[in-house]
Structure 1
Amino acid sequence: MIFLLAFLFAQTGSFATVNGLHMYYEIHGAGQPLVLIHGGGSTIQTSFGRILPALTKDHEVIAVELQAHGHSDNRDGRPTTFEQDADDVAALLQRLHIGKADIFGFSNGGTTAFQIAIRHPELVRRLVIASSMYKRGGSPPAFWAGFAHATLDQMPKVYQEAFLKIRPDSSALQTMFEQDRQRMEHFKDIPDSVIASIQAPALIMMGDKDVITPEHAVEMYRRLPHARLAIFPGGHGAYIGEVMSGDAAPALPVIEEFLNAQ
């Protein structure tokens, strides 16, 4: 029921042409700007639908859908990269005349959030990095081995259905899946020194049964100059009520406390 209400809450949005991409975004609430960046193969609703209404109480939430995901188009079909996604989000903020925002990225969106902080530090007030990594060593070898031969039928049905409900085009779904698969297959580490140069306060979050190892979460916490760390019971995104988990979102008070800190 909570997810259904959140889904109905966010049915309308807008498009902006940024770097040749027709990017879909939604704006809800008022207050300090907060950008939500979804995970790979996902949409605004599958990643954030259960917590989006609560976040709008104190924030102007700008939720985006990245290249080939959800409502956004595939530009000219070039491969997706975390760097390009970061530049697209930055260009959108500039179009919206938002000078500085909190950036909240989940899973692949967290790696994009890192790239925003690296490439456009002037736009970032605070960072929330959820279930994400900046190097291949952040996940077990078996995680990476799976991308070489991954097929669309292995993608959870809930993600496929969410995409097709927005865009009933099976070829677009296949393209999005293949672009995400190739990006992860060829994932490149961000140098430790670059992560250490990020000056924005950061909150690192993950589940204790996540695809990211707890050791990597601690490494990020230690590497970033101004970081906090929260590890919750459960799997990938369960602590924010991601669509593959239950309705509970135990991380919400932690997120709100961090974002509202002076």
Structure 2
Amino acid sequence: MNVKAETSDACDLRFGQVGIACVRVRRVDAAALCDELERRVRAAPAMFSRAAVVLDLSHLLDLPDDGAVDALLEAVRSAGMLPVGLAYGTSETEALAKRMGLPLIAKFRAAYEPAGGSETAPAAELPRSKAKTREEIQPEPDLREPILSAPAPGTSIGAQHHAGAVRSGQQVYARDRDLIVTGAIANGAEVIADGNIHIYGGLRGRAMAGAQGDEKARIFVSDFRAELVAIAGHYRVFEKIPDDLEGQSVQCWLDGEKLLIAKL
């Protein structure tokens, strides 16, 4: 009988790149927030139902009081999502998070971690001119309305075509059909389709097919370097792409509840 060796460690603790949506609050209205998020969950339940989200309060003129923030968090829960923390912001946001027992989470990892790995202050705490430059380089993702592209000439009527790159922070969503992208998808960008996804370019961001729960959907990529791929709510996150897949043409599909990736 094989017995696993016991160790003195109760667990391992690691920081990894995980998929967390960012809910950018533009006005303090818990009822309106709940209605809007409920609409998003109904539109793509496999993508947003019970999704982990970070609440971003940085675009409000004044930071809400504790009671108002608690109401916003409850609105997120009522809509079917799970708030896991507040987004980085000012020292007042940090104090608010401490009072409410919530963590502060980077809205987009690359905006706070430079390539060299050294620590920097969040963009919101930089001088205004520097913060603007950082935002131009790496826009923050949110749950705004996705980019919808008209079908290109010669494209089948069942597919949506997006020509050109999808920049960091952008989201392209093909509702009730396949999505064809002829361009690169940057880190922090998302492409979502209720059907299949075909990417004729590099995928460095996230690709999510079968958003309405279609387990037969597939993802095809010409140059695979993804942060995350998902099909019908089943996903894989990559901190490092396996050597045999990095930069290769691949397809992704579901086998039961397991998401598989193989070279084409």
TM-score, reference length from structure 2? 0.26
TM-score, length-scaled by structure 1: 0.27
Higher helix share: 1
- The structure with higher relative contact order (CA 8 Å, sep 6+) is 1
